[in-house]
Structure 1
């Protein structure tokens, strides 16, 4: 006989059945600000309405119980490697749970690989990526690489004409088939090797050109991390006679046979469990050259920049979901005589988390808008601001999500809350596409070799000069640091951190409500901030900051 000793009370209901986009005021305002910014008023209004409708549909789907279940199932049932079929034939396939395919199919159908050449394509795609990634982060990897492969392929007009329509398609086809039989395709990439890691010039994979000078090669070597090995094609780096070169490796050849793509094993990772990362071997693997021999890094650099921005957006998505969960829990949970959200110290913590989330979102969306504008100034800004944002935003994700988890107490530490999965996922974006030191050194490279990048950065932050004395002081101090780059490598992380905070502060002062900008500048730029979240200075409008960040069901 079933017995009951108590009635369950004082538990927050699930945060489900809400519009992930519409409930995010920082994101909705960013879309309204940037979408169609270069269009006449009437055309801009029409485009903005269309984009908002698209994102509302996606946000409602992302907040649904069904999408949340897909995310859970995809992580509870990670991919499995099948090297051979039942007859002993080598097939090198990765099998995924149906939930993975539903997540990926919905994302492709929503246009999350389609940005290049669309009106405000990068803004609408970045916002959609930020929204849909909150369902589950792992399937964002192939979405990101497929989106980012387009500018690399455009260095070869023939390859671009063949592949770009498939990569930007809104049709998801999961089967491995020859490219001409697929209306939509996904791309992965393989750069990292055992001996080199981030130092791709140390790669040893060899490329030998086939007779006839047609740009066809065979590759021999390995890749230590090959992302999304179930994809239809891959951009890889290998050593050709003239040096490191970029190549396109299709999974299935035109005659329907499988290319030589030996998956040795899948990585057993801390997080990102739904997504497959593999070690692969090339042994006479057919490939097409992309770009000129010896220019591999230059060919693939635009892909790297685009995936780095997706690391920023992915971290912003995780932050947003974490703070939404923390505020939702605190609004319903009562302790010590009232709702947690009304307790001054908890409100300080939640407001601090909300500031971090909004600053990440505003920065990511500004960089997406720079891709859309395509002006010389914005291209120069992207050169320095993308690695700066990649360094800082992805670094902030792990401690921020850990603090949000603590807001739920023991409830946050159990898997059912979803916070542990977010916490395991958080370090990935800091590592992928170059860890913190790589980003910091890339910023130094831009500072010393590309003066136009620094000029663009200073013009951007200078747009808010005079609006907040703490921001003005931080800009002045930063200029002093930038004036002397002697021995800068040893202090590069600190320098890039200050650049990121000044840039975020400038954007918030220009575009966020006064209470948000005031709190950010007082803490991040004013020097009155502790080492843990929840140490905002006294006297700030923390209640207004928290209420702005609340996801309303």
Structure 2
């Protein structure tokens, strides 16, 4: 990661022109003749400006443990950017003003361009400036670069998750692009550049590039082999693609990896938006999706009407070519859901630290402590597992990733909506109001569980790895059993996992994925987290009569006051 903080431009304010202005001064006391009806009190102060790293020891510990301790000073600088009032206002504005598709110009010419609010560009410029889209590919394996980048992505995703989509896809595109040295030499320098340049132009003329992927079709969904888009080779060795793609996120990016049926079968292709001669490729943006959340980011339906593509990998090997890109974006799904969990926890913990009810500060109320403590355990476990996976990328632990990554995506992404809902409820009615920011997190929370393979698809991938790649099972159990003997309930859970593995029934694939991820989380916390965190997690997740399915049902011995203090801003 670049150790220098990038220049942070002034934000667009609520009217899109100026900053949000200084903090509002405290109200003077009421006095006779004052026509106000009440003072505003018993409300938490603004969360902007808090030290995200100080209240997230799970992150800082994991960054050091996974080999990226040298990145901590830079990450603290980025965390300060993330929590600034300006950044939070940009996040709000980017979601308030959704992107707009312009298919034609005023004269009727096809342009297929997407217009974004200036705050979107601020978010993109910041993440690109910090190298969150490509910096690790410059470093040598094992240097901690992927861990540092993962931590930065986790921080920026707490600010605004939607812009993370093009950042993630660009990060994930490089390994697939390297299947063709000539194409990699042409495009990789731009994909690694820390310059953000938005306007559509021929890639070789731009100081920085972004990549995306376009796989899903109407009739196939996750079953990409059912795609009907065709690719016909031409005299110059390029291909002409004709067909449709049902879901293409970040359609304004410069390059796209896509799948199409070539003569030898499903094949991966690279399509630039602008061709080397400066003309626009025949990629038509039909409409933008009206999504539940992720409102800042554009997702489009696309038609290829003879689009020019360059083959990436061998014909008929499209899935094998694209699979490494999918793995990297799955890692970012885990990181993104861990970030959403942490962002919701931060809001809830901050609120209860400053809010009183029935004569008691909420943070001192035993039941509220139990709720926040439970959310804190979920966050610590998600963060520890996500960063362990990033460390595995740095160390090229491919067998561990093959099984641990889909299992982690299944559980961490599934848990995020429940955690955000509980955090929202901690704020009561205030949490249900847009001003709190929690509704935006709530709408965002289901997304990572759907993208890159929804729950059942991911669970079946776990089952496939278990069945066809037994080395991945050995790698995961080596990680899990590093905590053997530290807790009897955890050891019992590992034995149950081994029993489950012998069945390998499709109808139990979700249970298997959950148990694998849970045992990985338990192992990490037992080895590295404070005792009060690890014991509370195991006691609430591994007891035979649990786990209870709502937050705040921790066992009596859990030190909830300590858990709460550990994560409160």
TM normalised by structure 1 equals: 0.95
- Aligned partner of 2:50 in structure 1 is 18
Q: Find out whether 1:202 has 2:219 as its counterpart.
A: no
CA distance in 1, matches of 2:170, 2:74: 21
Q: Secondary structure at the match of 1:134?
A: helix
In structure 1, the partner of 2:373 is: 351
CA–CA distance in structure 2, aligned partners of residues 8 and 227 of structure 1? 43
SS in 2 for 1:270: coil
**Aligned counterparts of 2:233 and 2:547: Cα–Cα separation in 1:** 58
Aligned 8 A contact 1:21 1:131 in 2: no
Q: Which residue is 2:251 aligned to?
A: 229
* Cα pair 2:289 2:299 within 8 Å, conserved: yes
RMSD, matched Cα: 1.1
Which residue in 1 is equivalent to 2:347?
325
Q: Distance in 2 between matches of 1:164 and 1:35?
A: 25
Alpha-carbon distance in structure 1 between the residues aligned to 2:104 and 2:54 = 47
Moved more, 537-546 or 139-148: 537-546
Gaps of 5+ in 1: 37-47
The 2-side partners of 1:92 and 1:8 are apart by 49
Task: State the match for 2:65 in structure 1.
Answer: 33
1:526 aligns with 2:543: yes
CA contact (8 A) 2:410 2:458 kept: yes
> Quick one: which of 395, 400, 412 aligns to 2:431?
412
Counterpart among 473, 481, 485 of residue 466 in structure 1? 485
Name the SS for the 2:321 alignment partner: helix
> Residues 413 and 448 of structure 2 are in contact (CA less than 8 Å); yes or no, is this contact kept in structure 1?
yes
CA contact (8 A) 1:81 1:265 kept: yes
Cα distance in structure 2, aligned partners of 1:240 and 1:400:
44
Residue 167 of structure 1: CA displacement? 1.0
Contact 2:138 2:192 in 1 (8 A): no
Q: Does 1:193 align with 2:193?
A: no
Structure 1 distance, partners of 2:381, 2:472, is 22
Structure 2 partner of 1:544: 562
Q: Partners in 1 of 2:180 and 2:462 — Cα distance?
A: 28
Q: Distance in 2 between matches of 1:492 and 1:312?
A: 19
State the Cα deviation string for residues 454-489 of structure 1 (Å, max 9, x = none): 00011110100011111111001111111232xx10
- Whether 1:287 and 2:304 are equivalent positions in the alignment is no
Aligned residues: 532
Q: What are structure 2's unaligned runs of at least 5 residues?
A: 1-32
Please give the TM-score of this superposition, normalised by the length of structure 2: 0.92
SS of corresponding position for 1:495:
helix
Cα offset for 1:86? 1.2
* 1:97-143 deviation line (CA, Å, top 9, x unaligned): 00000000000000101222423111000000000111111000000
Which residue number in structure 2 is paired with residue 45 of structure 1?
none
Q: Aligned residue for 2:91? A: 71
Determine helix, strand or coil for the equivalent of 2:483: coil
Per-residue deviation at 1:18? 2.1
In the other structure, the counterpart of 2:30 is none
Out of 180, 184, 209, the position equivalent to 1:156 is: 180
Question: Do structure 1's residue 57 and structure 2's residue 77 form an aligned pair?
Answer: yes
Question: What is the alpha-carbon distance in structure 2 between the residues aligned to residue 307 and residue 521 of structure 1?
Answer: 29
Aligned partners of 1:24 and 1:210: how far apart in 2?
55
